[in-house]
């Protein structure tokens, strides 16, 4: 088999060593198109790249898992479509910039759970590289190898990469990062570097050819502890995916960024938008006030961290829902004008104050408010429909979990999808072998 190395196009190597390379790969594989390495950690001169003479002219897919100490300087690329690096220790960000610059037909770029060496001396063009073919971009949990260098490091690795590229055709964007150390980050920085899901949905490839509209988007934004989680899905059969998690970022920054991200875009209409806010202290009610004029929010869920907050949070929430405001389009409307459902997450709404909120919300003169045919109260395992002529029945209710303004609108539940359907990991037997293992493919 090894006499055919000159014809080899794809190879997957688990837990390689220098001895294994010397035994099984005694010569170059000049036509190699796909390589996946798992678990390289050898401080030896003959690493995987030098073993292949550094010239991977035809290589299209490069996947690296749990590696360190690979000598990249000799590597020559030019036709990569896939770069997928997971759990790499002390990666040089200059290498990533070189890969991007030399392979501008990239379709998949994934960097996850990896650390980077300091790049304070790194300089690059102020003009971002436009990756017009990039469909799948994942940047998750990237950090400096030495956190102590952060004071001398002008940018977090994630932000440096986002500043370096543009990806107008991306339909799968996953970003998980913590920017606690970035004291100079502003909402404007996030706006310019982290794309809005509506901007990505606006791409012509995702629009209905008959209506030129993008509709079936389901957006969920969650303020939880010290993070913002924003996800968008279009359901089975749709290629679009958006998953952003910003940890340890000041609420004032994430609120302003999300508010901008939800602003209307021509040709894009979210089908549903859920705002979830978990309250740990009363000041976090500002998260609700900040979005009360939003014409995007259709579902609102409010949770509390302790019973001592319940009374104050309930009173303030119902006050917000019962008052008018000026919408983003300039109309006088009730707060959250498109609201279909409000949910009490981890606590129970009480009948009398909820009844007062409903009457004020749909009975204030001079304020736009479409009155639904029915109000539906959801309990844990059942729902009760209340019509307007019997609205007083709500007064005596206790322990309900949600109020629906109109028919129950179920939020869809879809199975989780793999980020990269081409990934070969983990091995099908559920574990990776202790002994070196090869998968050979000749085409």
CB-based burial label for 436 (10 Å; 0-12, 13-18, 19+) = middle
Q: How far is residue 193's CA from residue 212's CA, in Å, rounded to a whole number?
A: 27
pLDDT value of position 184: 65
Q: Is the peptide bond before 363 cis (omega within 30 degrees of 0)?
A: no
Residues 6+ away with beta carbon under 8 Å from 334: 321, 322, 323, 324, 325, 361, 362, 364, 367, 368, 369
Give the 3-state secondary structure of residue 69: coil
Q: Report pLDDT digits (tens) over 172-203.
A: 999 999 876 445 667 777 888 899 998 888 87
Q: Report pLDDT digits (tens) over 90-127.
A: 888 888 998 999 999 999 999 999 998 865 545 555 68
What pTM does this model have? 0.84
When mean pLDDT is compared across 133-137, 180-184, 220-224, 326-330, the lowest value belongs to 180-184
Residue ranges of alpha helices (H) inside 46-177 are 48-51, 93-102, 157-164
pLDDT value of position 95: 87
Q: Report pLDDT digits (tens) over 290-308.
A: 999 998 999 999 999 888 8
CB-based burial label for 392 (10 Å; 0-12, 13-18, 19+) = exposed
**CB neighbourhood size of 119 (10 A):** 20
Q: What is the mean pLDDT of residues 120-143?
A: 83
> What single-letter DSSP state applies at residue 105?
T
CA 378 to chain centre: 30
Q: Is the sign of the CA dihedral 416, 421, 423, 425 positive or negative?
A: positive
Taking alpha carbons only, the member of 51, 58, 48 closest to residue 7 is: 58
Q: How far is residue 412's CA from residue 418's CA, in Å, rounded to a whole number?
A: 18
Q: Report pLDDT digits (tens) over 313-370.
A: 999 999 999 999 988 778 899 999 999 999 988 777 788 999 999 999 998 888 877 8
pLDDT value of position 340: 94
CB 111 within 8 A of CB 140: yes
Helix (H) or strand (E) holding 47: none
Cα Rg for the chain, rounded, in angstroms? 26
Q: Is 171 left (phi over 0), alpha (psi -120 to 50) or beta?
A: alpha
Q: How far is residue 137's CA from residue 167's CA, in Å, rounded to a whole number?
A: 9
pLDDT value of position 439: 44
Distances (CA, A) of 199 to 128, 294, 367: 18, 17, 31
């Amino acid at each position: 088999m090894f006499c055919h190395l000159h014809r080899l196009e794809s190879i997957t190597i688990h837990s390689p060593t220098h001895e294994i390379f010397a035994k099984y790969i005694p010569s170059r594989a000049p036509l190699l198109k796909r390589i996946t390495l798992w678990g390289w950690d050898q401080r030896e001169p003959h690493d995987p790249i030098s073993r292949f003479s550094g010239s991977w002219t035809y290589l299209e897919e490069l996947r690296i898992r749990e590696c360190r100490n690979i000598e990249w300087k000799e590597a020559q690329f030019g036709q990569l479509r896939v770069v997928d690096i997971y759990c790499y220790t002390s990666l040089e960000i200059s290498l990533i910039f070189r890969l991007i610059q030399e392979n501008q037909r990239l379709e998949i770029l994934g960097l996850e759970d990896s650390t980077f060496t300091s790049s304070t001396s790194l300089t690059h063009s102020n003009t971002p590289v436009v990756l017009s073919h990039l469909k799948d971009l994942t940047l998750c949990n990237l950090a400096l190898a030495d956190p102590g260098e952060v004071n001398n490091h002008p940018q977090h690795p994630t932000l440096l990469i986002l500043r370096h590229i543009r990806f107008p055709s991306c339909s799968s964007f996953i970003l998980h990062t913590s920017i606690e150390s970035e004291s100079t980050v502003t909402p404007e920085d996030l706006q310019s570097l982290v794309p809005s899901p509506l901007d990505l949905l606006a791409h012509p490839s995702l629009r209905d050819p008959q209506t030129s509209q993008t509709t079936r988007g389901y957006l969920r934004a969650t303020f939880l502890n010290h993070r913002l989680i924003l996800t968008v899905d279009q359901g089975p059969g749709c290629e679009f995916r958006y998953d952003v998690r910003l940890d340890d970022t000041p609420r004032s920054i994430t609120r302003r960024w999300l508010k901008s991200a939800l602003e209307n875009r021509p040709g894009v209409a979210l089908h549903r938008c859920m705002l979830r806010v978990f309250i740990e202290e009363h000041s976090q009610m500002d998260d609700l006030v900040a979005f009360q004029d939003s014409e995007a929010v259709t579902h609102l869920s409010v949770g509390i961290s302790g019973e001592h907050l319940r009374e104050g949070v309930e009173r303030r929430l119902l006050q917000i829902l019962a008052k008018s405001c000026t919408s983003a389009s300039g109309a006088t409307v009730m707060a959250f004008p498109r609201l279909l459902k409000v949910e009490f997450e981890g606590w129970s709404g009480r009948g009398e104050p909820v009844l007062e909120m409903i009457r004020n919300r749909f009975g204030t003169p001079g304020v736009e408010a479409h009155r639904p045919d029915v109000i539906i109260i959801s309990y844990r395992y059942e729902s009760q429909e209340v019509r307007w002529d019997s609205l007083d029945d709500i007064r005596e209710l206790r322990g309900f979990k949600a109020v629906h303004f109109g028919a129950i609108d179920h939020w869809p539940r879809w199975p989780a999808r793999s980020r990269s359907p081409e990934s070969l990991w983990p091995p099908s037997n559920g574990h990776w072998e202790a002994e070196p293992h090869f998968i050979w493919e000749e085409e």
